[in-house]
A and B are shown apart, each in its own frame.
Chain A
């Protein structure tokens, strides 16, 4: 069954039609590569799923129930997690502090509640272990490599039982070795039964890790097919418009 279903979603800003009549569905445990040139409508589409914008037309359904969000925080409550392109990390805090940022664990009662460092370090450590990432919960993020920083950002999505993880250009600015690390992290998420949307410009990454590819051009969905039935050449053609639609 589909986790998330988008039906005839459109979004316009004034006269600009950013997303035009897009429908697709996400399955649990599936990685979907979302591709398209700058301005194709990828970001707008993702921001609607993330609760930043409300669609002008169309409906979204989460587990069959209609999904209406007013603020980004609500997405998280629905089990939709976002890994932002800039990762949204605080360099001056530890890895564990960043993982739990905005949802710190506390102990004690009533007004006398203090941060539960011990449990947060332990939980963060467990998540890094699950992700098979060499990231130490007590290290400051300032001193971390690009791959570790990704692991911290991804670890956030595993705090709660996320159903959908949206990743915005996770491999844009990191080294080759770290890209491999991040792709592994994505597989870890998939193996946990999470639906992953990978927004990327990098063709090799999408073809390595994704099960399905969706291509957007000028606000419209021009392709949605299993990765095995497509090729980088075809996707490039779809992105640039050399191939109209498949």
Chain B
């Protein structure tokens, strides 16, 4: 029987299962699960409540920023300044609260700082056509230096009248013993996932990464979207900074140093493509989880910590290798 035009048009290209099996995120998730099962059997300390609590909480800071980074990467950009922005926002929060202001004022100041930095990055990139690498590299240096200026390069560990509130915000576990940062991460991940899949903004983010010229020609407000994306990235760093401050109970000017690379690694392991156009919120979380599980397991297995970089680096290459193999098959 001949296949009619209608049948062809209404046909789905691939089943749901084929789509899942073909995604990098799925295989990384499998790797995380297998590693957890393996560690639970081999070590006594992995599957303890305390260790799992630590792992889930440690994941969150990288994961939250990886959510924002994923948006930037989908548009085909990069944000190297997130580690320094985290530090600056933490420091702004700490200094403002130390000076006797309430936690609300402190958080507003930190968020405001993040948004201003993000807007600065975004405007230079979108309107003045700076390469994202250069602008955010500059900001990496500027933001950390400003954090040093703001605190005179001291450690801040007293947060004024709302000291306890801040520590509860980041260090508490208000919901079934799950660490607060984990809850924030889950909420933010769901929100990011929703925005990417269901909103016009999300669609435009993908369109810009796929073909920026086409997006412009079809009337997508490319520049505004780009500015927004860098603001979201900085905002995610600011939020992570606030939570981390509450958890650590102290801010130094070297927190978040080198974090941008971990965040980018998490996004890439989770399936975001640095060439733009591809990435998911769930992938960012899974990528961050894999990195943290590797770190944690090396410690538990008694492997010298110097090996950490080798393992994480290999995970990046392996994860992307899967994607390459799949693309080779597609192109054949």
In the complex with contacts A104-B203, A114-B198, A114-B199, A91-B8 CB distance below 8 A: no
- Binary flags per residue of A171-195, CB closer than 8 Å to B gives 1, else 0: 0000000000000000000000000
Determine the chain A residues whose CB is within 8 A of the CB of B215 once the complex forms: 90, 101-102
Q: Do residues A92 and B277 form an inter-chain contact, with CB atoms below 8 A?
A: yes
Choose, from A14-22, A124-132, A224-232, A233-241, the stretch at the interface. Answer: A124-132
B128 interface residue (CB < 8 Å to A): no
Q: Do residues B210 and A84 form an inter-chain contact, with CB atoms below 8 A?
A: no
| B202, closest chain A residue (CB) | A115
Q: How far is the CB of B284 from chain A (nearest CB, A)?
A: 17
- Binary flags per residue of B206-223, CB closer than 8 Å to A gives 1, else 0: 110111011101111000
Determine the chain A residues whose CB is within 8 A of the CB of B9 once the complex forms: 125, 128-129, 134-137
Q: Do residues A102 and B206 form an inter-chain contact, with CB atoms below 8 A?
A: no
A118 interface residue (CB < 8 Å to B): no
| B198, closest chain A residue (CB) | A114
Tell me the count of chain A residues lying within 8 A, CB to CB, of chain B.
Answer: 35
- Binary flags per residue of A81-102, CB closer than 8 Å to B gives 1, else 0: 0101011111111000100011
When chains A and B are docked, how far (Å) is the Cα of A53 from the Cα of B207? 25
| B330, closest chain A residue (CB) | A143
Q: Do residues B203 and A103 form an inter-chain contact, with CB atoms below 8 A?
A: no
A2 interface residue (CB < 8 Å to B): no
Max count, chain A CB within 10 A of own CB: residue among B9, B12, B215: B9
A78 interface residue (CB < 8 Å to B): no
When chains A and B are docked, how far (Å) is the Cα of A91 from the Cα of B208? 11
B49 interface residue (CB < 8 Å to A): no
Q: How far is the CB of A124 from chain B (nearest CB, A)?
A: 9
Q: Do residues B207 and A115 form an inter-chain contact, with CB atoms below 8 A?
A: no
Determine the chain B residues whose CB is within 8 A of the CB of A84 once the complex forms: 217
When chains A and B are docked, how far (Å) is the Cα of A88 from the Cα of B210? 10
| B10, closest chain A residue (CB) | A125
Cross-interface CB contact of A103 among B198, B207, B210, B219, cutoff 8 Å: B219
Q: How far is the CB of B244 from chain A (nearest CB, A)?
A: 31
Q: Do residues B207 and A136 form an inter-chain contact, with CB atoms below 8 A?
A: no
Q: Do residues A90 and B200 form an inter-chain contact, with CB atoms below 8 A?
A: no
| A90, closest chain B residue (CB) | B210
When chains A and B are docked, how far (Å) is the Cα of A129 from the Cα of B6? 7
When chains A and B are docked, how far (Å) is the Cα of A134 from the Cα of B9? 6
Cross-interface CB contact of B211 among A89, A113, A129, cutoff 8 Å: A89
| Majority DSSP secondary structure for residues of B touching A | helix
B152 interface residue (CB < 8 Å to A): no
Determine the chain B residues whose CB is within 8 A of the CB of A132 once the complex forms: 5
When chains A and B are docked, how far (Å) is the Cα of A93 from the Cα of B278? 10
When chains A and B are docked, how far (Å) is the Cα of A125 from the Cα of B6? 9
Q: Do residues B200 and A92 form an inter-chain contact, with CB atoms below 8 A?
A: no
Q: Do residues B210 and A91 form an inter-chain contact, with CB atoms below 8 A?
A: yes
B11 interface residue (CB < 8 Å to A): yes
When chains A and B are docked, how far (Å) is the Cα of A220 from the Cα of B304? 78
| B220, closest chain A residue (CB) | A102
Q: Do residues B5 and A97 form an inter-chain contact, with CB atoms below 8 A?
A: no
Q: Do residues B200 and A115 form an inter-chain contact, with CB atoms below 8 A?
A: yes
Tell me the count of chain B residues lying within 8 A, CB to CB, of chain A.
Answer: 28
In the complex with contacts A72-B217, A132-B5, A91-B211 CB distance below 8 A: yes
Determine the chain B residues whose CB is within 8 A of the CB of A103 once the complex forms: 219
Cross-interface CB contact of B210 among A93, A113, A138, cutoff 8 Å: A93
Q: Do residues B203 and A136 form an inter-chain contact, with CB atoms below 8 A?
A: no
When chains A and B are docked, how far (Å) is the Cα of A103 from the Cα of B278? 21
Q: Which of B190-246 contact A (CB under 8 A)?
A: 197-200, 203, 206-207, 209-211, 213-215, 217-220
Determine the chain A residues whose CB is within 8 A of the CB of B211 once the complex forms: 88-91
Determine the chain B residues whose CB is within 8 A of the CB of A156 once the complex forms: 218
When chains A and B are docked, how far (Å) is the Cα of A114 from the Cα of B278? 20
Determine the chain A residues whose CB is within 8 A of the CB of B8 once the complex forms: 134, 136
Q: How far is the CB of A86 from chain B (nearest CB, A)?
A: 7
| B219, closest chain A residue (CB) | A102
A57 interface residue (CB < 8 Å to B): no
When chains A and B are docked, how far (Å) is the Cα of A81 from the Cα of B5? 26
Q: How far is the CB of A167 from chain B (nearest CB, A)?
A: 14
| A134, closest chain B residue (CB) | B8
Q: Do residues A115 and B277 form an inter-chain contact, with CB atoms below 8 A?
A: no
A139 interface residue (CB < 8 Å to B): yes
Determine the chain A residues whose CB is within 8 A of the CB of B6 once the complex forms: 129
Q: How far is the CB of A198 from chain B (nearest CB, A)?
A: 19
Q: How far is the CB of B218 from chain A (nearest CB, A)?
A: 4
Q: Do residues B199 and A101 form an inter-chain contact, with CB atoms below 8 A?
A: no
Q: Which residues of B contact A (CB under 8 A)?
A: 5-6, 8-13, 197-200, 203, 206-207, 209-211, 213-215, 217-220, 277-278, 330
Q: Which residues of A contact B (CB under 8 A)?
A: 72-73, 76, 82, 84, 86-93, 97, 101-104, 106, 113-115, 125, 128-129, 132, 134-140, 143, 156
8 CB contacts below 8 A, A to B, read A82-B217, A86-B213, A87-B214, A91-B210, A91-B211, A114-B198, A137-B9, A143-B330
